[in-house]
C-alpha cells in the first residue's frame, strides 16, 4: 500500500513578499554565475532595489485590502499577522535604504581573499573587480529577517535565524578599509553566532521534549495543561532565550556587538543595527508572548534582570568609547534593553497587550530609521584611510560641515529621547506601557515594573551624556588641524539621510499617524 | 457676561485652513535657511510673499468669522494629537486671536516690504528675512494656539526670533550683548509662565482654553497662577521689574524694533493677560489689580525714561514701554478695559511702527546716526517721512480725533472709574508723553541743522515711504473706528466677555479735558526748550532728575546691585559649596560611572573565547534563575 503524501497548501498571495525577496536573491545568484563581470552591477542593483520595494508594495497591498490572515499559513509554518506585516514593512524599508548605502562607492573590497595592501589587491582594484555578490547576499539576509519574526514554530524560526545570519557573517568581512578588523569581526560574529545558534537549537529540542510539538500554539497549549515545574521546560525556555537574546545583543550576551559593528562595513552595520534588531525583537516577542505566554510568571523576573543589566551596561560602557561606531553599538545595546522593557510589559488582557505591542512596534520603526540615518552620516566623514571613526577626529566638525553635523546631532538627540524627536515618543510609549502593565499586575510586580522604568530613565540619562558629548565635541571644540574630509555624498546617501531625518522630525512632531498605524497592526495581536 | 463656549470647528472653509497662516511664513523661513546662499537673489521677495499670503488667509478667516452668529465665533481647529493623553495641538480662531493675526500679518507685511529698502545694502538680507518670517510664524502660533503649551512654544519661538534679530549685526559687541541680555531677562519671565502652566496642569488637569472654566471669585491657587502668568507677561512685554532689556534691544535693525519691539511681540504679555482673563484675572481680583499696578508703574517709568533719551530709537523704546503700560493697566480692569487695551494695542501697533520706520528712514538718510542732537531741521529734506512721523506723533500724544486719542482716553476713563489713583497716574503719564514726544519731533525735524559734516539727508525710496503712508493712514482713522460705536468691544465680546454696561464716549469729561490740558502743557514746554531755543550739540550735565531718567531710572544699576552682584556672590558661594560638597558627590558619581565604565570595558578583551565564556556563564545563570523562579 502506498503511503500518500498530502500536498501542502501554500497561501502564495500572503507569502508573496517573502517569495519575491528569495526569488530575487536566487536570480541574483544566477546573474553572478552567468552574466559577464561588467554587466553584473547594472543587473544587481536594480534587481535588489526593485525586489525590496516590490515586496514592500505587496505588504502595503495586503494591509490596504485588509485581508490579514487570522491563522497560521503554509501548513502552520508561518504566521503573517498584523504585527508581522508591520515588522515586514519596517524591515523592507530599512533594508532598501541600506542597499542605497551599500551601493555607494568604496565600502567593499574588490577581492576579499587578497592580502590588504598587496599587489594582488591593487591589480584587482585596477581591473574594476567588485563584489556584486553582496546584493544577493543582502537579499538572502533580508529574506531571513522576514522569515524569522513570522515563524510560527521553532524549526521555521531556526531556519529563518540561520538564513538571516549566514550571509551577514560573510558581509561583515568585506570592508575595503581596515580589512583585518573587518575579517576579525566576521570571524568572531560567525563563531559566537554559531555558539548561540546551538543554544537555540538545544532549547528547541528540550521544548519539543516537553510539549511534543514545535509549534508555538502547541507549546502554549501544553503549558496550559502540563506542569510548569518540569526542568525540561525551564531549561528549554532559558536556552531558547539565550539564542534570541544574543541576536538582539542583550547583556550578558552583548560582547560581540561592538566588535562586529566596528569591523563591519558601515552600510552592513546599519543593516544589522536596524533590520536584524527589528527581526530579532519580533522573534523574541513571538517566542515569549505566543509560545511561552503561559509561562510569563516565570520568565518575567529573569528578563527583568536582563533588561536592567542591558540598559545599564550599554549606557555605562558607551561613555568611555572613543570610536563612533563602537559608541553607536553600545547605544544599540542600551536600546535593546529599552525594547526588552516593552517585551516584559505583558498584560492579562488583550487590550493591554495591544498597548505594549504598539509601543514596541513604534519604537522599532523610529529607532531603526534614526540608526540608519546616523550610520549614513558616519559613512561620509572620512580620512585618507577610510572613515574617520575615532571621536577625536570629529572635534569641531560642526564648523566645517554645519548641516551634516546638525543632522547627526538631531539623530543623537532622537536616540537620547529628547522631546520633539521621534525617540521621545518611542520611550514615552514604552515606559507608559510598562508602568501600566505593572499597575495591572498589582502591588509587588507593579513596583518592580516601575522600578525597571526608573532604571530605564537613569540609563537614558547616562546615555544622554555620551550623545550630547558628541554634539559638544562637534560644535564647541576647536577643529582638529588636518581634520577629516566630508565625502561628497552620492544621491543615494543623500536620499537615505534626508528620509531618515524627515521621519525622525516628522514623527517627533506628528506621532499620531504612526502610532495609529502601529496600533492597527498591534490590534490583532499575534495569531496563535 | 462670560465668554461664549469654544466649539469644535467642523465645516470646511478658511477657518479650518487657518494653520496655513503659520505654515506659510514657516515654509518661507525654512526655505531661506536651508537653501541659504542660493536664495540670495529672490529671498527677500519670498519672505514678503509668504507674509502677504498669511495676511490673505487671516483676512479670509476674519470674513468667515464675521458671517457667523456670535455664539459660533469661537472655533477650535483640531490639528493633531500632540502628546497623547495630555495635549492636542490645535488652533483657536476667535475674535481676539484673529484681531491679533490681522495686526501681525498686516503690519508685519508692511514691515517686510519696508525692509526690502532698508536692508538693501546688507549682504545678509536673506537671513534677515528668514528670521522675520520665523518671527511671524512663531507669533501667529502664540496667538492662535488653543492651549497653553502651544502658546508657550510660540512664546519661546518669538523669543528666539527676537534674540536672533537683536543680535543680527553680531559683529557689533553691543548688539551681541543686548541680544544676550534680552534672552536672559526673558528667561525670568518664561520661568514664571512655565511654573504657571505647571500649576494649571496640576490644578485643573488641562492646558486647553476650551476646558478651563471662567471663575468668579479668586482662590489662592488662581491668584498664584495669575501672578506667575503676570511675571511671564512682564518679561515679554518689558514691564517693571523686567523692563531693562527693551532699551538695549534697539541694537537690532530698525524694522525689527518696529515689528517685534513695538508693534507685536512686546504686546504678547497683554495678549496673555487678556486671554487668561476669564480664568485667572476676574474683575476686581488681586491678580487683576497687580496687572493694573504694574501697568501704571511702567507707563510712568517709560515716560520718564523717554524724556531724557537723545538716541531717537531709545526714546521710542521708552515710549513703547510706557504705552504697553497703558495696555496692561487696561487689561487689569476686566472686560471694559480689555477692549480698550486691545484697541490701544492695535492703534499703537500702527502709530509706533509708523514712527519707528520713520526713525529708520531718518537714520537711513543720516548715515545711521541715532543721536537727535545731531539732527534738526529735517522736515524740509524728508517731507514724506516728516508728515508720516508727525501723524504718528499726534496719534500717540492723543491729539483729538486721531487714533491714540480714542483708545488711550478709553483706558484713562475706565481706570479712573475703577481705580482712581492709577487712573490719575495715567493722566500724568499722558502729560509726560506730550512732552517727550514733542521733544523728539522738535529735535529731529525743527530748529537748526546740527548735522555732521558728511550728512546728506534725502528722502527714502518708495518701497520705504509707501508702508509709512499706509501706517499713518491707520494711525489717523483706526482709533475712532474701533472705539466710537464700541465696534471693537462688541467684536471681542464673544472671546473675552462683555461688561455689564457698555461704556459711552464722553469727549468733555473731567479726566479727558485734564489729559488734553496736560498734554498741551507738555508739548508747549518742549517747544520752548527744544523747538525755539538752541539745542546743545553735546548733552548738558542736567539735574539729578535728568541723570536719573538717562540712566533708565537706575534700572540696570538696580539689577546690578540687587540681582547681579548678589547673584555673583551667590554663584561664588554656590561654586564653593559645589566644588566642596556637591561636586564631590556628582564627580564621585560620574567618576563611579566612568570608572565602572572603564573597568567594564576591560571585560571586552577582544577574544572570541572570552565572549563565548561570558555567553556560557550568562546561559548558566539564566537557566539557574529560571529554574529557581519556576520552583518558588
* In the predicted structure, residue A1 carries a pLDDT above the cut 60: no
Instruction: Find which of B590, B592, B600, B619 to mutate to test the A interface (most A CBs within 10 Å of its CB).
Output: B619
Q: Which of A192, A228, A462 sits opposite B630 (nearest CB)?
A: A228
* In the predicted structure, residue A509 carries a pLDDT above the cut 90: no
Q: What is the pLDDT of residues B194-208, one digit of tens each?
A: 899 888 888 888 888
Asked if the Cβ–Cβ distance from B629 to A301 is below 8 Å, we say: yes
In chain A, which residue's Cα lies nearest the Cα of B618? A252
A408-436 b/e (C-beta count within 10 Å ≥ 16 → b): bbbbbbbbbbbeebbbbbbbbbbbbbbbb
Average pLDDT over residues A301-312: 92
Residue A229's nearest CA partner among B392, B485, B627 is: B627
For residue A104, the model assigns a pLDDT of: 81
pLDDT band at B168 (very low <50, low <70, confident <90, very high): confident
Q: Which of B593, B618, B627 sits opposite A234 (nearest CB)?
A: B627
The number of helices, as runs of H, and strands, as runs of E, in chain A is 21, 3
Q: Write out the three cell numbers for A215.
A: 509549534
Residue B212, SS3 per DSSP: coil
User: What percentage of residues in chain A have a pLDDT greater than 70?
Assistant: 98
Residue A139, SS3 per DSSP: helix
For residue A415, the model assigns a pLDDT of: 93
For residue A245, the model assigns a pLDDT of: 94
pTM recorded for the entire structure: 0.69
Enumerate the residues of chain B whose CB falls inside 8 A of the CB of residue A429.
Answer: 84
Enumerate the residues of chain B whose CB falls inside 8 A of the CB of residue A188.
Answer: 608, 611
Q: What is the pLDDT of residues B401-417, one digit of tens each?
A: 888 888 888 888 888 88
A-B CB pairs within 8 A amount to: 100
Enumerate the residues of chain A whose CB falls inside 8 A of the CB of residue B137.
Answer: none
Q: What is the pLDDT of residues A383-423, one digit of tens each?
A: 877 788 888 888 888 888 888 899 999 999 999 988 888 99
Mean pLDDT of chain A: 88
Q: Which of B81, B593, B611 sits opposite A319 (nearest CB)?
A: B593
For residue B545, the model assigns a pLDDT of: 67
- Where residue B262 falls (left for φ over 0; alpha for ψ -120 to 50; beta otherwise) is alpha
For residue B552, the model assigns a pLDDT of: 66
Instruction: Find which of A201, A255, A263, A510 to mutate to test the B interface (most B CBs within 10 Å of its CB).
Output: A255
Q: How far apart are CA A332 and CA A258, in angstroms?
A: 9
Average pLDDT over residues B441-453: 79
* In the predicted structure, residue B551 carries a pLDDT above the cut 70: no
* In the predicted structure, residue A3 carries a pLDDT above the cut 90: no
Q: What do you get for the CA distance between the two ends of chain B, in Å?
A: 68
| Contact A515/B at CB under 8 A | yes
Enumerate the residues of chain B whose CB falls inside 8 A of the CB of residue A192.
Answer: 608, 611-612, 615
Average pLDDT over residues B385-392: 87
ipTM summary value: 0.83
Which residues does B313 contact at the CB level (< 8 Å), separation at least 6? B250, B254, B257, B356, B359, B370
Of B83 and B355, more confident: B355
Q: What is the pLDDT of residues A337-392, one digit of tens each?
A: 999 999 988 887 888 888 899 999 999 999 999 999 999 999 888 887 778 888 88
- Comparing A11-15, B318-322, B336-340, the range with the smallest average pLDDT is B336-340
Enumerate the residues of chain B whose CB falls inside 8 A of the CB of residue A255.
Answer: 603-604, 610-611, 614-615
Asked if the Cβ–Cβ distance from A235 to B627 is below 8 Å, we say: yes
For residue A171, the model assigns a pLDDT of: 92
For residue B147, the model assigns a pLDDT of: 87
- Comparing A327-336, A483-492, B426-435, the range with the smallest average pLDDT is A483-492
Q: How far apart are CA B360 and CA B355, in angstroms?
A: 8
* In the predicted structure, residue B64 carries a pLDDT above the cut 60: yes
For residue A268, the model assigns a pLDDT of: 93
Residue A153's nearest CA partner among A233, A203, A213, A196 is: A213
CB B427 within 8 A of CB B511: yes
For residue B122, the model assigns a pLDDT of: 79
- Residue B502's CB is within 10 A of a number of other CB atoms, namely 13
Q: How far apart are CA B47 and CA B264, in angstroms?
A: 18
Average pLDDT over residues B367-388: 80
Average pLDDT over residues B300-313: 83
pLDDT band at B580 (very low <50, low <70, confident <90, very high): low
Q: Write out the three cell numbers for A432.
A: 507608559
Amino acid at each position: 500500500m502506498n503511503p500518500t503524501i498530502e500536498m501542502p497548501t501554500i497561501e502564495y498571495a500572503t507569502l508573496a513578499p517573502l517569495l519575491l525577496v528569495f526569488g530575487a536573491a536566487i536570480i541574483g545568484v544566477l546573474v553572478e554565475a552567468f552574466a559577464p563581470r561588467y554587466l553584473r552591477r547594472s543587473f544587481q542593483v536594480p534587481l535588489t532595489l526593485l525586489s525590496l520595494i516590490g515586496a514592500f508594495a505587496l505588504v502595503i497591498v495586503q494591509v490596504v485590502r485588509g485581508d490579514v490572515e487570522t491563522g497560521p499559513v503554509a501548513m502552520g509554518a508561518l504566521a503573517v499577522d498584523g504585527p508581522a506585516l508591520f515588522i515586514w514593512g519596517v524591515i523592507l524599508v530599512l533594508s532598501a535604504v541600506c542597499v542605497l548605502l551599500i551601493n555607494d562607492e568604496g565600502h567593499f573590497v574588490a577581492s576579499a581573499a587578497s592580502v590588504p595592501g598587496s599587489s594582488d589587491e591593487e591589480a584587482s582594484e585596477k581591473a574594476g573587480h567588485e563584489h556584486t555578490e553582496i546584493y544577493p547576499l543582502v537579499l538572502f539576509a533580508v529574506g531571513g529577517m522576514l522569515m524569522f519574526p513570522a515563524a510560527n514554530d521553532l524549526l521555521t524560526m531556526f531556519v529563518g535565524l540561520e538564513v538571516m545570519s549566514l550571509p551577514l557573517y560573510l558581509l561583515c568581512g568585506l570592508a575595503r578599509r581596515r580589512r583585518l578588523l573587518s575579517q576579525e569581526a566576521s570571524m568572531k560574529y560567525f563563531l559566537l553566532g554559531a555558539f548561540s545558534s546551538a543554544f537555540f537549537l538545544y532549547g528547541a529540542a528540550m521544548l519539543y521534549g516537553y510539549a511534543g510539538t514545535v509549534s508555538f500554539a502547541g507549546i502554549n497549549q501544553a503549558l496550559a495543561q502540563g506542569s510548569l515545574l518540569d526542568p525540561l521546560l525551564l531549561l528549554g525556555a532559558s536556552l531558547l532565550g539565550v539564542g534570541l537574546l544574543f541576536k538582539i545583543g542583550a547583556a550578558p550576551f552583548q560582547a560581540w556587538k561592538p566588535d562586529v559593528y566596528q569591523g563591519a562595513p558601515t552600510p552592513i552595520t546599519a543593516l544589522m543595527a536596524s533590520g536584524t534588531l527589528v527581526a530579532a525583537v519580533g522573534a523574541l516577542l513571538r517566542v515569549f508572548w505566543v509560545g511561552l505566554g503561559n509561562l510569563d510568571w516565570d520568565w518575567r523576573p529573569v528578563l527583568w534582570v536582563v533588561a536592567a543589566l542591558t540598559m545599564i551596561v550599554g549606557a555605562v560602557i558607551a561613555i568611555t568609547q572613543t570610536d563612533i561606531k563602537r559608541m553607536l553599538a553600545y547605544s544599540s545595546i542600551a536600546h535593546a534593553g529599552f525594547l526588552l522593557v516593552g517585551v516584559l510589559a505583558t498584560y492579562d488582557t488583550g487590550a493591554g497587550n495591544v498597548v505594549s505591542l504598539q509601543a514596541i512596534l513604534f519604537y522599532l520603526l523610529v529607532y531603526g530609521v534614526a540608526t540608519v540615518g546616523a550610520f549614513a552620516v558616519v559613512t561620509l566623514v572620512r580620512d585618507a584611510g577610510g572613515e574617520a571613526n575615532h571621536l577625536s577626529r570629529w572635534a569641531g566638525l560642526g564648523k566645517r560641515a554645519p548641516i551634516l553635523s546638525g543632522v547627526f546631532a538631531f539623530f543623537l538627540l532622537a536616540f537620547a529621547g529628547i522631546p520633539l524627536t521621534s525617540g521621545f515618543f518611542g520611550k514615552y510609549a514604552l515606559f507608559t506601557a510598562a508602568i501600566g502593565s505593572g499597575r495591572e499586575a498589582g502591588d509587588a510586580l507593579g513596583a518592580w515594573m516601575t522600578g525597571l522604568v526608573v532604571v530605564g530613565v537613569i540609563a537614558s540619562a547616562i546615555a544622554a551624556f555620551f550623545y550630547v558629548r558628541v554634539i559638544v565635541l562637534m560644535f564647541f571644540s576647536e577643529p582638529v588641524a588636518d581634520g577629516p574630509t566630508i565625502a561628497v555624498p552620492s544621491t543615494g546617501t543623500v536620499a537615505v539621510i534626508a528620509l531618515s531625518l524627515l521621519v525622525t522630525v516628522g514623527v517627533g512632531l506628528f506621532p499620531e499617524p504612526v502610532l495609529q498605524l502601529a496600533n492597527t497592526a498591534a490590534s490583532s495581536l499575534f495569531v496563535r | 457676561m462670560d465668554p461664549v463656549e469654544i466649539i469644535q470647528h467642523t465645516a470646511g472653509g478658511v477657518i479650518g485652513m487657518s494653520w496655513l497662516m503659520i505654515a506659510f511664513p514657516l515654509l518661507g523661513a525654512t526655505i531661506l535657511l536651508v537653501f541659504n546662499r542660493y536664495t540670495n537673489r529672490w529671498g527677500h521677495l519670498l519672505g514678503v510673499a509668504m507674509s502677504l499670503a498669511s495676511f490673505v488667509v487671516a483676512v479670509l478667516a476674519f470674513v468667515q468669522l464675521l458671517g457667523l452668529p456670535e455664539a459660533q465665533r469661537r472655533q477650535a481647529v483640531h490639528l493633531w494629537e500632540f502628546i497623547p493623553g495630555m495635549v492636542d495641538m490645535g488652533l483657536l480662531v476667535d475674535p481676539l486671536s484673529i484681531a491679533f493675526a490681522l495686526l501681525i500679518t498686516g503690519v508685519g507685511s508692511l514691515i517686510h516690504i519696508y525692509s526690502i529698502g532698508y536692508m538693501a545694502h546688507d549682504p545678509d538680507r536673506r537671513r534677515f528675512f528668514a528670521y522675520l518670517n520665523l518671527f511671524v510664524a512663531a507669533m501667529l502660533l502664540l496667538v492662535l494656539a488653543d492651549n497653553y503649551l502651544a502658546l508657550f512654544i510660540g512664546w519661546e519661538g518669538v523669543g528666539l526670533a527676537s534674540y536672533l534679530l537683536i543680535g543680527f549685526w553680531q559683529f557689533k559687541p553691543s548688539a551681541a550683548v543686548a541680544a544676550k541680555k534680552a534672552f536672559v531677562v526673558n528667561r525670568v519671565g518664561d520661568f514664571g509662565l512655565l511654573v504657571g502652566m505647571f500649576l494649571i496642569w496640576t490644578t485643573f488637569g488641562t492646558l486647553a482654553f476650551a476646558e478651563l472654566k471662567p471663575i468668579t471669585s479668586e482662590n489662592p491657587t488662581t491668584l498664584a497662577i495669575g501672578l506667575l502668568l503676570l511675571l511671564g507677561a512682564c518679561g515679554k512685554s518689558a514691564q517693571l521689574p523686567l523692563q531693562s532689556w527693551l532699551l538695549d534691544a534697539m541694537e537690532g535693525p530698525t524694522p525689527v524694533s518696529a515689528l517685534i519691539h513695538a508693534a507685536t511681540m512686546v504686546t504678547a504679555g497683554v495678549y496673555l493677560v487678556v486671554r487668561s482673563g476669564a480664568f485667572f484675572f476676574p474683575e476686581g481680583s488681586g491678580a487683576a489689580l497687580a496687572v493694573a499696578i504694574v501697568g501704571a508703574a511702567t507707563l510712568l517709568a517709560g515716560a520718564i525714561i523717554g524724556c531724557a533719551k537723545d538716541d531717537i530709537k531709545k526714546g521710542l523704546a521708552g515710549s513703547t514701554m510706557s504705552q504697553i503700560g497703558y495696555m496692561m493697566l487696561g487689561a487689569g480692569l476686566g472686560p471694559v478695559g480689555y477692549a480698550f487695551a486691545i484697541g490701544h494695542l492695535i492703534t499703537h501697533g500702527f502709530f509706533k511702527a509708523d514712527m519707528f520706520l520713520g526713525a529708520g528712514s531718518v537714520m537711513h538718510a543720516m548715515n545711521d546716526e541715532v543721536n537727535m542732537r545731531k539732527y534738526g531741521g529735517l522736515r524740509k529734506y524728508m517731507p514724506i517721512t516728516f508728515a508720516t512721523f508727525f501723524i504718528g506723533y499726534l496719534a500717540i500724544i492723543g491729539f483729538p480725533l486721531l487714533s491714540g486719542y480714542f483708545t488711550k482716553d478709553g483706558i484713562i476713563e475706565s481706570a479712573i472709574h475703577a481705580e482712581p489713583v492709577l487712573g490719575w497716574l495715567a493722566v500724568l503719564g499722558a502729560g509726560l508723553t506730550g512732552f517727550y514726544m514733542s521733544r523728539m519731533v522738535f529735535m529731529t525735524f525743527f530748529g537748526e541743522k546740527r548735522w555732521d559734516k558728511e550728512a546728506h539727508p534725502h528722502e527714502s525710496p518708495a518701497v520705504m515711504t509707501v508702508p509709512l503712508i499706509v501706517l499713518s493712514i491707520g494711525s489717523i482713522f483706526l482709533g475712532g473706528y474701533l472705539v466710537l460705536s464700541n465696534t471693537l468691544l462688541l467684536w471681542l465680546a464673544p472671546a473675552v466677555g462683555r461688561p455689564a454696561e457698555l461704556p459711552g464716549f464722553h469727549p468733555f469729561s473731567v479726566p479727558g479735558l485734564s489729559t488734553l490740558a496736560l498734554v498741551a502743557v507738555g508739548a508747549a514746554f518742549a517747544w520752548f526748550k527744544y523747538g525755539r531755543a538752541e539745542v546743545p550739540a553735546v548733552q548738558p550735565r542736567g539735574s539729578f532728575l535728568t541723570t536719573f531718567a538717562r540712566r533708565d531710572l537706575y534700572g540696570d544699576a538696580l539689577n546690578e546691585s540687587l540681582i547681579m552682584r548678589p547673584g555673583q556672590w551667590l554663584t561664588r558661594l554656590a561654586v564653593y559649596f559645589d566644588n566642596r560638597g556637591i561636586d564631590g558627590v556628582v564627580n564621585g558619581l560620574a567618576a563611579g560611572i566612568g570608572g565602572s565604565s572603564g573597568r567594564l570595558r576591560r571585560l571586552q578583551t577582544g577574544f572570541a573565547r572570552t565572549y563565548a565564556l561570558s555567553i556560557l556563564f550568562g546561559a548558566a545563570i539564566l537557566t539557574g534563575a529560571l529554574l529557581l523562579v519556576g520552583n518558588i
